[in-house]
Amino acid sequence: MSSRPLTVAYLFTTFPKSTETFLQREILALQALGVDLRIYSLWQGGGTFNGIKVRRFRLWRLLPLLWIIPWVTVTRWDLMSLLLRGLFTRRAPSWINFWENMLGAGFAGVMAEEFRRQKPDLVHAAWAGGPATAAWILSRLTGIRFSSAAHAYDIYEHGGDWWLIEKLRDAAFVHTSTEMACATLVSRGLDRARIHVIRRGLVTFPAFKALRVARDPLRILCIARLVEKKGFARQLEIYAALMRVGMRFEARILGDGPLRDSLMRQCRDLCLEGVVRFCGHCTQDEVATSLAWADVLVHTGVVAASGDRDGLPNVIPEAMAAGVLVVTSPAAATTEAIADRESGRVVPMEDLGVWVNALRELKEDSLLCERLRHAARVWVEREFDAHRNASRLHRLFMDACVEINGDGNPVR
């Protein structure tokens, strides 16, 4: 019987990444449970994170593939034929996804010997793109079991990752954070019993602030990357509609992205300058300051032309925890946290008038606001505790890589 800590090799595309704080919280919570974490970053990142070394993979290390690929072709034709069949029988959904998967495959080929020597108990992919490809091929080359997360981007962008179903079918288990994603994976043929919905979470819960009595002007906050799936073009039209009916408000948009210039032009065209402020990328301290300032968090998510969409954006539970009211579109999995008139407002994107009325109501009806805010906090404390959710994930790790002896103790 072994009493040593569970050793998990965690594979990321980039870690740490400032826009993926939910993954950092997951690592912190697992570290607090005593898991021996070996973090690998396939693309960028590196350094240390809370005392854990982050092993950044350098592209020059792919050079040995010049002889590794012929060797694997001769000695492991079962694996090579599988990869070649997929490579030549269907197209990758995008060039980015193609190269992500190629990087994952290259990482596995180069690192297989190191993983054989160090042999973690389990390899876990934080994303179902390149990291899951790396974990999948490593498992076939070394016999080490693997598991994988599957996020909305992995599942929906351009129809989903190139090798998504093959990889996830071989995983010991699949971790997703929304019922929407789970249902989609089941519809594509995965076994529901092996898919586990475990939400992300907060390591610590913020103080629940008091409702601002006089919400005039109404303070509106949006925290999101400036990309199509966030529905910013429509959001600016909502602000223009508020201006037309004479409602006083201030809006802050935290985040950056490829649509920044076009959205700022639209803002000028709609005469919203001075009322709507683009704050750019912000630190976590700046986000916390903005949540303390805000009355309402607005989320105007849509399904992008590529098929990409949000799952449950982490900023929604973060706002709920802080006592900020939430008004969201019903796109994707937002309604798993926000039930209309129970824990927030859910408003269709098509009707500007309904958005105006919902925001006016939150400006004027303090009794409704208090009821929504307190119900939202109850949901977050039940569903979005990083330590509780990490304990569930830790149990899955244990089940995936240990046998249980007669007295119930794990033996690895």
- Residue 212 belongs to some domain of the structure: no
Each residue's pLDDT tens digit, 67-116:
988 888 888 888 888 888 878 888 899 999 999 999 999 999 999 999 99
- 392-409 mean pLDDT: 72
Identify the sign of the CA torsion 235, 240, 241, 246. positive
* pLDDT at 3 (0 to 100): 64
- Phi, psi of 374, deg, nearest 5: -70, -35
253 and 178 in a common domain: no
- Which CATH number is 353's domain given? 3.40.50.2000
**What is the b/e burial string over 33-52, where b = at least 16 CB atoms within 10 angstroms of the residue's CB?**
eebebbbbbbbebbeebeeb
Are residues 181 and 258 located together in one domain of the fold?
no
Partners of residue 328 on adjacent β-strands: 299, 346
pLDDT score for 411: 45
Each residue's pLDDT tens digit, 167-186: 999 999 999 999 999 999 99
Total of domains in the chain: 2
pLDDT value at residue 332: 84
**Same domain for 181 and 227?**
no
Is there a single domain that holds both residue 117 and residue 240?
no
- Domain assignment of residue 302, yes or no: yes
Asked if residues 394 and 30 have their Cβ atoms less than 8 Å apart, the reply is yes
* pLDDT digit string, tens, across residues 22-37: 999 999 999 999 999 9
Query: What's the pLDDT band for 410 if we cut at 50, 70, 90?
Result: very low
In the DSSP assignment, the letter for residue 277 is E
Residue 222 and residue 80 share a domain: no
Does any domain span residue 1? no
Residues across the chain: 412
**Which tokens is 105 given?**
């495959």
pLDDT of residue 63: 94
For residue 295, the model assigns a pLDDT of 98
- This prediction's pTM: 0.90
User: Which of 86, 107, 112, 99 lies closest to 12, judged by CA?
Assistant: 107
Residues 61, 146 within the same domain: yes
pLDDT at 89 (0 to 100): 82
Q: Are residues 108 and 248 in the same domain?
A: no
What pLDDT shows up at residue 83? 82
Q: Look at residue 211 and tell me if it is in a domain.
A: no
At residue 280, what is the residue type?
Answer: G
Q: Are 197 and 148 contained in the same domain?
A: yes
> What's residue 2's pLDDT?
53
Task: Give pLDDT tens digits for 1-18.
Answer: 356 789 999 999 999 998
Place of tokens 């105007």: 300
Residue 273 DSSP one-character state: B
Of the two residues 41 and 75, the one the predictor is more confident about is 41
Q: Establish if 128 belongs to a structural domain.
A: yes
> What are the tens digits of pLDDT across the range 308-320?
989 999 999 999 9
Judge if 318 and 370 occupy the same domain. Answer: yes
**Do 139 and 183 belong to one domain?**
yes
**Does 402 have pLDDT greater than 80?**
no
- 394: burial class by Cβ within 10 Å (0-12, 13-18, 19+)? middle
Q: Is the peptide bond before 131 cis (omega within 30 degrees of 0)?
A: no
Residues 65, 154 within the same domain: yes
Tell me, what DSSP letter sits at residue 144? -
Q: What is the pLDDT of residues 220-260, one digit of tens each?
A: 999 999 999 999 999 999 999 999 999 999 999 999 999 99
Residue 249, in any domain of the structure? yes
Query: Which residues have C-beta within 8 Å of that of residue 87, sequence separation ≥ 6?
Result: none
Instruction: Note whether 189 and 261 are same-domain residues.
Output: no
Flag whether 116 is in a domain. yes
Domain of residue 314: give its range. 218-383
Q: What's the average model confidence in pLDDT over 124-134?
A: 97
- For 4: left if phi > 0, alpha if psi spans -120 to 50, otherwise beta; the answer is beta
